[in-house]
């Protein structure tokens, strides 16, 4: 975009004038967040433009890749710095000259609130506008809950605020959020728009004074309650959506000033609360997880224009959909025509279901299906820049596939395996180019789940690793880089939880007690309901390969109870229903098994169940850090949130460990080890090291930092932190 930047207001805000139109340009890469200097610069620039008689209209826009993407999240939790955003917004809104926000990229959060302070808004066709605060455990805090309903109506505003999803420029135009979608040079188009306003002496009222679009809810508040209830049904455990609903309700129930006051109070309450702190940690952890500390700077991702997926099963089909969704043509290769047709039909059905729910237009469905091509010969991979293998989880089969790929794929193709447990190094050795091999572990359903474990093999070349991460982001995933070990990070920790879940059954709990403890904590599902959903035969096969038994789960499988697909598993399912019902037959089996193994059953509280499931996972996470299978604690958090349903507002297992305190966790782990006789439940060496360090730093009584193999511990704090992220105050 060509913006002719002339004067600096300060380092982050520039201004210049073209005739009677003043341009005020925010220039704070990468996303033009509203740090204090930006707010101060805007205040100065708008005050000057107001007082300058030569200025008839003002265009507010941004340099770089985007309009303002919100408040600066790194400032949250620190002492507030003047001027507040509300003062900037009030000043702009009170201007008696036409003001035009010219939006490109994304106008998000405080950025959109800033745009709402202008009398008019224009946007490029690719621009997106939204209030995503909810995703940070917050709600708009600079007038968004009061101005947006006035501009586009309460129902639409509520939808945008509760979902947090931005809307594209075209629908923003239709709702009245923007006044014009402009092609070509944005600055020139916005100036032309401003000049026209001046020439026609047009000056609309400020958004705060608009009332027309509030009328419907004012006369029918019951409709609002209905809408709110529907939105809140999906917000299990989260505080922000309820607060946002209350604030939006104030937009039509109270005066503008009173509404602003209520919004502010709720925003500050959420900002100080534990949930938003955890969600902000996740925001930054997600971005960190895709970074690799020792990746050379010149390791550039390879160009990916065409993809191929081997295997048209549930996983392969889901992965192919991810590529098609991102506009990348993809071939899907199967051995038999029958299996291929079945896979393609499932993909088409999935797309049509999304369209039926209003998620996609029929044309978009056709376009995406058109990008997926079925093939019966592996030779079809010859033009693919990346090949993702998603065949049955069996080492010999995978090795054969990779040996074939080595023969058939382009020299510079990335060869990825979607294995969820197997040794990526061994798979790579089946080729003559182990440097081109990387793990890309998707989670089921692959077209929905956001997590992508990118598994770095011993030989994986830096640019291959960079490509896997880059492709992951392009197809909308949250990539987290992990090393090779059995089950990588996610499944390795899941295995530990599974062992404890089975032990709890033997010691006195029932499946519904164990699952209930986790759903109360915020998981969408507990391990037994999840097992029934995925198919108990899956875990059975893994255990057999590992040479271990799970007394109850194995017995259920031997009885042909594989979960939902057979109507019975840990629970029983009525025909056509996915709702798990406790089954007396399973309870009998559990009680008999306890007796047979000589385990005395006793009542176990919900809290005890939770600790028993979660603390061993944290312990395993500490081992994973020690072994450098994960680079940082935050990466483990991202994996559990986006791959396994850990409640985002609890920040992930390692973040949670910080909140509980590592001393308390270690003490409980020692008790578990003693009770079960399982030495692996003893606190991991890293936990012990951290505790020793904590007592040492507490004794030293002065703030300083210490570096441990995988962690930084900062002294002089109320809670111990093992994450470099948290030590930065995020």
Give phi and psi for 559, each to the nearest 5: -85, 5
* DSSP code, position 684: P
CB of 29 to ligand 3H9, least distance (A): 9
Nearest approach, Cβ of residue 581 and ligand 3H9 (Å)? 41
Cβ-in-10-Å burial (0-12, 13-18, 19+) of 187 comes to buried
Nearest approach, Cβ of residue 662 and ligand 3H9 (Å): 27
Helix H or strand E segment including 349: helix 337-356
Cβ atoms < 10 Å from Cβ of 283: 16
113 belongs to the catalytic site: yes
Supply the minimum distance, in Å, between the C-beta of residue 75 and ligand 3H9: 8
DSSP 202-219: --PPPGGG--GGGHHHHH
First to last CA, the chain: 33
Nearer to ligand 3H9, 284 or 421 (CB): 284
Known active-site residue 546: no
Identify which of residues 270 and 550 has a Cβ nearer to ligand 3H9 in the complex.
270
Tokens for 83, please give them: 């001027």
Window 27-56: residues binding ligand 3H9 (CB under 6 A): 30-31, 33
Measure the CA–CA gap between 264 and 80, rounded to whole angstroms. Answer: 14
Q: Tell me whether residue 39 or residue 650 sits nearer to ligand 3H9 (CB atom).
A: 39
Residue 139 Cβ, how far from ligand 3H9 at the closest point, in Å? 7
User: In 10 A of CB 554, how many CB atoms?
Assistant: 17
d(CA 160, CA 207): 17
How far is the C-alpha of 450 from the C-alpha of 439, rounded, in Å? 16
In the complex with ligand 3H9, which residue's Cβ is closer, 140 or 434?
A: 140
Single out the residue of 326, 359, 352, 363 nearest to residue 163, CA to CA.
359
Extract the tokens encoding 121. 């808004």
Distances (CA, A) of 380 to 336, 411, 445: 14, 15, 25
Pick the closer one to ligand 3H9 by CB: 144 or 621.
Answer: 144
- Identify the active-site residue in 18, 75, 87, 113: 113
**Interaction residues for ligand 3H9, span 252-311 (CB under 6 A):** 284, 287
Q: How far is the CB of 545 from ligand 3H9 (least distance, A)?
A: 38
**Local structure of 335: helix, strand or coil:** coil
Number of residues near ligand 3H9 (by CB under 6 A) = 26
Q: Sign of the CA dihedral 678, 684, 689, 691?
A: negative
Chain residues 441-460 in contact with ligand 3H9, contact rule CB under 6 A = none
Please check whether residue 369 is in contact with residue 324, taking contact to mean a CB–CB distance below 8 angstroms: yes
Residue whose CB is less far from ligand 3H9, 73 or 673: 73
Q: How far apart are CA 277 and CA 89, in angstroms?
A: 26
CB of 106 to ligand 3H9, least distance (A): 5
> Between residues 108 and 496, which has the closer beta carbon with respect to ligand 3H9?
108
Strand partners, 327: none
Nearest distance from residue 294's CB to ligand 3H9, in Å?
A: 17
How many C-beta neighbours within 10 Å does residue 383 have? 13
Question: Which tokens is 385 given?
Answer: 């820049």
Nearer to ligand 3H9 by C-beta: 142 or 365? Answer: 142
Q: Which 3-state string (H, E, C) describes 379-421?
A: HHHHHCCEEEECCCCCHHHHHHHHHHHHHHCCCCCEEEECCCC
Q: Between 136 and 669, whose beta carbon lies closer to ligand 3H9?
A: 136
- CA pair distance 475, 201, nearest whole angstrom: 47
Within 91-150, the residues that bind ligand 3H9 by CB under 6 A are 106, 108-110, 113, 132-133, 136, 138, 140-142, 144
Q: Residue 276 or 419: which CB sits closer to ligand 3H9?
A: 276
Residue corresponding to tokens 């001393």: 663
User: Which of positions 63-92 make contact with ligand 3H9 (CB under 6 A)?
Assistant: 66, 69-74, 85
Q: Is 611 near ligand 3H9 (CB under 6 A)?
A: no
Distance CA 677, CA 402 (A): 42
Cβ 282 to ligand 3H9 shortest distance, Å: 12
Candidates 52-60, 62-70, 94-102, 594-602; binding stretch for ligand 3H9 (CB under 6 A):
62-70
Q: How far is the CB of 39 from ligand 3H9 (least distance, A)?
A: 10
Give min distance, CB of 146 to ligand 3H9, in A: 12
361 CB burial (10 A radius; 0-12, 13-18, 19+): exposed
Which residue among 37, 87, 93, 133 is the active-site one?
133
Our CB check for ligand 3H9 shows the closer of 199 and 293 to be 293
Rounded Cα distance between 428 and 463, Å, is 16
Spatial distance between the Cα atoms of 227 and 693, rounded to a whole number of angstroms:
52
Q: Which residues have C-beta within 8 Å of that of residue 304, sequence separation ≥ 6? A: 328, 385, 386, 414, 467, 470, 471, 474
* Cα 166 off chain centre by: 15
Q: Tokens standing for 673?
A: 């080890």
Q: Are 191 and 61 in contact (CB under 8 A)?
A: no
Q: Which residues are catalytic, by number?
A: 113, 133
Residues engaged in binding ligand 3H9 (CB under 6 A): 30-31, 33, 66, 69-74, 85, 106, 108-110, 113, 132-133, 136, 138, 140-142, 144, 284, 287
């Amino acid at each position: 975009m060509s913006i002719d930047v002339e004067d600096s207001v300060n380092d982050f805000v520039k201004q210049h004038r073209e005739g009677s139109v003043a341009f005020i340009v925010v220039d704070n890469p990468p996303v033009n967040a509203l740090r204090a200097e930006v707010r101060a610069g805007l205040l100065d620039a708008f005050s000057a433009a107001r007082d300058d008689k030569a200025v008839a209209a003002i265009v507010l826009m941004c340099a770089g890749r985007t309009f303002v993407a919100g408040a600066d999240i790194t400032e949250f939790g620190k002492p507030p710095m003047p001027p507040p955003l509300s003062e900037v917004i009030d000043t702009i809104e009170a201007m008696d000259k036409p003001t035009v926000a010219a939006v490109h990229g994304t106008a998000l959060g405080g950025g959109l609130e800033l745009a709402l302070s202008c009398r008019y808004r224009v946007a490029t066709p690719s621009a997106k506008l939204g209030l995503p605060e909810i995703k940070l455990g917050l709600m708009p805090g600079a007038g968004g809950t009061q101005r947006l309903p006035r501009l586009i109506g309460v129902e639409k505003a509520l939808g945008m605020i509760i979902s947090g999803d931005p809307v594209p420029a075209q629908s923003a135009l239709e709702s009245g959020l923007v006044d014009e979608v402009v092609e070509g040079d944005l600055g020139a188009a916005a100036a032309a728009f401003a000049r026209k306003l001046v020439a026609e002496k047009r000056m609309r009222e400020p958004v705060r004074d608009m009332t027309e679009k509030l009328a419907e809810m004012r006369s029918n508040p019951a409709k609002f309650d209905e809408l709110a209830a529907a939105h809140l049904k999906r917000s299990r455990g989260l505080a922000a959506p309820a607060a946002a609903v209350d604030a939006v309700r104030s937009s039509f129930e109270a005066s503008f000033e009173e509404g602003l006051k209520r919004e502010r109070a709720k925003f500050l309450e959420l900002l100080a609360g534990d949930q938003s702190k955890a969600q902000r940690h996740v925001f930054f952890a997600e971005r960190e997880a895709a970074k690799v500390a020792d990746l050379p700077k010149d390791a550039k991702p390879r160009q990916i224009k065409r993809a191929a997926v081997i295997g048209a099963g549930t996983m392969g089909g889901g992965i192919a959909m991810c590529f098609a969704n991102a506009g990348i043509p993809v071939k899907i290769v199967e051995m038999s025509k029958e299996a291929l047709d079945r896979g393609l039909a499932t993909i088409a059905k999935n797309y049509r279901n999304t369209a039926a729910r209003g998620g996609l237009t029929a044309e978009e469905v056709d376009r995406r299906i058109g990008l997926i091509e079925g093939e019966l010969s592996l030779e079809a991979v010859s033009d693919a820049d990346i090949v993702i293998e998603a065949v049955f989880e069996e080492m010999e089969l995978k090795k054969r596939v990779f040996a074939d790929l080595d023969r058939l794929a382009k020299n510079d193709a990335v060869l990825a395996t979607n294995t969820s447990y197997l040794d990526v190094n061994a798979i790579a050795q089946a080729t003559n180019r182990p440097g081109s091999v990387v793990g890309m572990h998707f989670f089921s359903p692959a077209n929905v789940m956001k997590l992508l474990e990118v598994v770095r093999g011993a030989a994986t070349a830096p640019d291959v690793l960079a490509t896997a991460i880059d492709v992951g982001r392009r197809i909308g995933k949250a990539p987290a880089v992990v090393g090779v070990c059995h089950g990588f990070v996610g499944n390795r920790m899941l295995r530990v939880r599974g062992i404890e879940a089975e032990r709890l059954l033997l010691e006195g709990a029932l499946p519904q007690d164990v699952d209930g403890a986790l759903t109360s904590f915020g998981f969408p599902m507990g391990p037994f309901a999840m097992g029934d959903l995925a198919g108990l035969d899956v875990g059975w096969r893994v255990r057999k390969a590992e040479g271990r038994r799970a007394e109850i789960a194995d017995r259920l499988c031997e009885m042909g109870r594989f979960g939902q697909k057979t109507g019975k598993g840990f629970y029983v399912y009525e025909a056509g229903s996915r709702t798990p019902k406790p089954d007396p037959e399973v309870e009998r089996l559990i009680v008999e098994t306890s007796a047979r193994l000589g385990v005395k059953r006793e009542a176990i509280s919900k809290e005890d169940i939770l600790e028993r499931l979660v603390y061993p996972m944290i312990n395993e996470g500490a081992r994973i850090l020690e072994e450098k299978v994960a680079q940082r604690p935050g990466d483990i958090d991202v994996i559990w949130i986006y791959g396994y349903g850990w409640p985002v507002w609890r920040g992930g297992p390692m973040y949670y460990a910080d909140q509980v305190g590592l001393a308390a966790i270690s003490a409980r782990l020692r008790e578990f080890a003693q009770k079960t006789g399982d030495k692996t439940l003893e606190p991991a060496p890293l936990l012990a090291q951290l505790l020793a360090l904590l007592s040492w730093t507490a004794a030293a009584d002065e703030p300083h930092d210490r570096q441990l193999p995988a962690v930084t511990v900062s002294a002089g704090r109320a809670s111990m932190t093992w994450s470099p992220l948290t030590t930065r105050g995020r």
